[in-house]
Structure 1
Amino acid sequence: MKFIKTLMVCSILITGLIIAGCKKEKYTSRDTSGLKPPPVDTTKPPVIDTSVVIDNADKTDGWQVAGGDPVLVTTGQKEGKGYIQGTIKSGQNFMQFIKTLPAPVNTKVTLTTGELKFWLYVQDVSLLSTDGQVQFSSAADPDKKRIGWGFDKILPTLKTGWNHLELKFTDGQPTGDGGPDLTAMNFIKIFFSTTAKVATDQNYGIDDIRVAVVPPSTK
């Protein structure tokens, strides 16, 4: 009997030692700096887009392009369902995009606070000349109640592929009749040419035309 009791005591001791050996050893943190990561700043207001859409270029309705009918391309667009494509055919050298809006648009900016923004796709920028202009009108006419930007100033900013143009009204040239009524804009025309007649078809695209307040300078 004593032998059995002794055996039981030994078994209990051995089991206890095994359990103690399996417990994880606790170590104190080596980071003694006491520093904590800064809390997330939730005081900054979310960025709200207050720009006014002139045309999202998701339909060909109201669009005209030089040399044929406008094409809605639904891949590779910068916004929405697609973009408007025009093509300078082989042997030609001129392109224009014209959009007459179905209803006037109030841009909610002034000639000192606003800018016209849109995406322009260029297949090969090396082919372009400085001839051309971007025209924005409230008279449904490119020569009346408009503001314009010469392509000679725009071309140096362009590259092959998509370009996001931000044309400040303060950099544009208004017509002598007082310029556009920015509360009732209804017409945009973008035209340019190549330095020579192209040897192969050249595609160009327009997407996401809108007006926004010029952001404050960070300088």
Structure 2
Amino acid sequence: MNNLLKHIKKYTVKSLFIISFLTINSCAEEEAIAPCVSQFYYEGTPFRQGDNLVITPKFESGEEIAGEFTSTEGLVILDKQTGQVDVGASVPGVYTVRKAMIGNPGCGNRITLGVIAILPPPAVFNLAESLSGWGLSGASFLDNTDKKEGESSIKTKVDGLVIMQHNLATPLNAKVGIAQGELHFWLYISDPDQLEPNASIGQIELTSSGEPDKEELTWVIIPSNFNLKAGWNQMKLKFKDAGVTGGNIDLNAIKFFRLYMFPKEGAQTLTVGIDDMKILAES
């Protein structure tokens, strides 16, 4: 056992994660047992805490080869023989999972590594279940039939300037940074033809100051950029793409949201709605 040979091979797997395979042979070359190949990955990673998922790894080869799965503290492995992971019970983070085949007499000394990432749960800004805390232009109402989640959406019928703004009674901790954070919500537009498609017609704003134009992230509304259609539109706004007004936002204490839009001159009555407002880490 004079020779120590380490072979490191890298394979690219689904979701652009890299899994490394490490072979350690501590026997003389003529005595070496051929290492087993057991390449595994967690399809769909990254996952999100709170999704209540139980994930079992997929295999490119060697699923039948016995081994023990382990990882660092925070990742809950339910079954060390299969590598099954409880996403909902795990702490957000990026984990290396080891399948150790040391002690398997048919495999030589073999360790296979895989990666699984778990994102934090969404921070709920507002689920549009009440008009409390909202300031809306036009004739506002709760719509209990046309909604994207829960019991209702918030809508308003407007002639002229559209304003939808909300003050949080308790500041919201986004639990994400600028690089990964996104504001998600559903936006209802009854008739996008009442908006100039290629013009800058308004803004979406998120602040920690409790008012507009201070400690603010802002996104310009150009309808064609968001491909707005009649009905519900899913909006996904990356923090890193936003403009900054009046100083940096404190993502640990978000207090205020505003959307405003100017319809075309002479536009007819426009119905605008909002639902399911959350802040997520980019997946």
Contact 2:182 2:237 in 1 (8 A): yes
**Match of 1:62?**
133
Secondary structure of the corresponding residue to residue 126 of structure 1: helix
The alignment yields a C-alpha RMSD, in angstroms, of 2.0
The one of 55, 59, 81 equivalent to 2:151 is: 81
Runs of 4+ aligned structure 1 residues displaced above 3 Å come to: 44-49, 153-156
The TM-score normalised by the length of structure 1 is 0.72
Q: 1:171 maps to what in 2? A: 241
Q: CA deviation at 1:50?
A: 1.1
The structure with the greater share of residues assigned to strand is 2
1:184 corresponds, among 253, 258, 282, to: 253
Aligned length: 169
Shift of residue 171, structure 1, vs aligned partner: 0.8
- Offset at residue 154 of structure 1 (A): 6.6
Distance 2:175 2:252 in 1: 7
Task: Work out whether residues 55 and 87 of structure 2, in 8 Å CA contact, stay in contact via their aligned partners in 1.
Answer: no
* Whole-Å separation in 2 of the counterparts to 1:176 and 1:42: 44
State the AA in 1 paired with 2:259: I
Residues 204 and 153 of structure 1: CA distance in aligned 2, closer, same or farther (over 3 Å): closer
Listed one character per residue, the Cα deviations across residues 145-187 of structure 1 (whole Å, up to 9, x for unaligned) are 110000027754211110000000011001242x210000010
- Please tell me whether Structure 1 or Structure 2 has the larger radius of gyration of its CA atoms: 1
State percent identity of aligned pairs: 31
Q: Which position in structure 2 is the counterpart of 1:205?
A: 273
String of CA shifts for 1:51-104, please: whole Å, max 9, x gaps: 110000110000111134x3111111001110111111xxx3210101001110
User: Any idea what SS the aligned residue of 2:186 has?
Assistant: strand
Check whether the contact 2:134–2:165 (CA below 8 A) recurs between aligned residues.
yes
Equivalent residue for 1:214? 282
Q: For residues 112-131 of structure 1, what are the structure 2 equivalents within 5 Å? A: 112-129=179-196, 130-131=200-201
TM-score scaled by length of structure 2: 0.56
Q: Does the Cα contact within 8 Å between 2:168 and 2:255 map onto a contact in 1?
A: yes
User: 2:13 — aligned with what?
Assistant: none
Q: What per-residue deviation string (whole Å, max 9, x for no partner) do you get for residues 117-159 of structure 1?
A: 0000000112113310000000011110110000027754211
**Cα distance between partner residues in 2 of 1:63 and 1:102:** 11
Contact residue 55 and residue 86 of structure 2 kept, 8 A: no
In the alignment, does 2:113 pair up with 1:43? no
Greater length-normalized contact order (CA 8 Å, ≥ 6 residues apart): 1
Q: Please give the per-residue CA displacement for 1:21-52, whole angstroms capped at 9, x wherever unaligned.
A: xxxxxxxxxxxxxxxxxxxx961557767111
- Which structure 1 segments of 5+ residues have no match? 1-40
Q: Which has the higher helix share?
A: 1
The answer (yes or no) to whether the contact 2:195–2:223 under 8 Å persists in 1 is: no
2:227: which partner in 1? 157
